[in-house]
C-alpha cells in the first residue's frame, strides 16, 4: 500500500515540526538538570513509589528543604492530585501531600 503524495508531504512536514519543537516540550527547570545527581526519570519512579498514580506535571526547581534542588511531581490518583517532591541530589522524598487549592 502506498501513501498518496500529498499525504506523505503532510506527514513529513508534521514530523519535521515535531522534531524542531521537541526541546520546547521539555519539563520546567530542565536547565538545572546538570546540578542534579538523579535523572527526572529516576525521580519520577521514586515519586510513583511514594504515591502511585499518573504524573500530570513535573518540574525541577530550587526550593528550601533537602539539598535545595528538587523535582516536583503532581500525581493524579482517583479524583485527587498529590504533590510529591524528590530531592534531586539524594533521591529522598521531601514532600508527599495533597495538592492545595492554589497549586504552584
Q: Are the beta carbons of 63 and 48 closer than 8 angstroms? A: no
Determine, yes or no, domain membership for 41: yes
Q: In this predicted model, what pLDDT tens digit does every residue of 41-79 receive, in sequence order?
A: 999 999 999 999 999 999 999 999 899 999 999 999 988
pLDDT at position 7, please?
54
Task: For the chain, list the strands marked E by DSSP.
Answer: 54-62, 69-77, 80-87, 93-98
Number of domains the chain is built from: 1
Q: Domain of 72?
A: 27-98
**Whose CA is closest to 30, among 17, 46, 14, 43?**
43
45-80 core/surface letters (b: 16 or more CB in 10 A; e: else): ebbbebbebeeeebbbeeeeebeebbbbbbbeeeee
Determine, yes or no, domain membership for 19: no
Determine, yes or no, domain membership for 9: no
Amino acid at each position: 500500500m502506498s501513501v498518496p503524495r500529498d499525504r506523505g508531504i503532510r506527514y513529513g512536514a508534521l514530523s519535521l515540526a515535531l522534531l524542531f519543537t521537541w526541546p520546547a516540550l521539555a519539563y520546567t527547570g530542565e536547565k538545572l538538570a546538570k546540578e542534579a545527581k538523579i535523572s527526572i526519570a529516576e525521580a519520577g519512579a521514586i515519586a510513583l513509589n511514594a504515591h502511585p498514580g499518573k504524573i500530570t506535571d513535573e518540574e525541577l526547581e530550587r526550593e528550601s528543604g533537602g539539598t535545595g534542588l528538587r523535582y516536583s511531581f503532581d500525581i493524579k490518583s482517583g479524583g485527587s492530585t498529590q504533590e510529591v517532591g524528590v530531592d534531586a541530589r539524594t533521591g529522598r522524598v521531601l514532600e508527599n501531600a495533597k495538592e492545595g487549592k492554589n497549586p504552584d
